[in-house]
Amino acid sequence: MDVRPLSIDGAWAFTPVLHGDDRGVFLEAFKADVVAETIGRPFQLAQVNTSVSAAGVVRGIHFSDVPPSQAKYVTCSAGAVLDVVVDIRVGSPTFGRWDAVLLDDNDRRAVYLSEGLGHAFCSLQDGSVVTYLCSTGYRPGSEHGIDPMDPELGIEWPKIARDGSPLEYVLSEKDSAAPGLSQARESGLLPSLDDVREFLTD
Catalytic residues: 62, 132
How buried is residue 42: exposed, middle or buried, by Cβ count under 10 Å (0-12/13-18/19+)?
A: exposed
- What CA–CA distance (Å, rounded) separates 53 from 152? 26
C-alpha closest to that of 1 among 108, 121, 73, 148? 108
- What CA–CA distance (Å, rounded) separates 133 from 75? 9
Q: What share of the chain is helix, strand, coil (3-state, %, to 5)?
A: 15, 40, 50
Residue type, 133: L
Judged by phi (left if over 0) then psi (alpha if -120 to 50, else beta), residue 10 lies in left
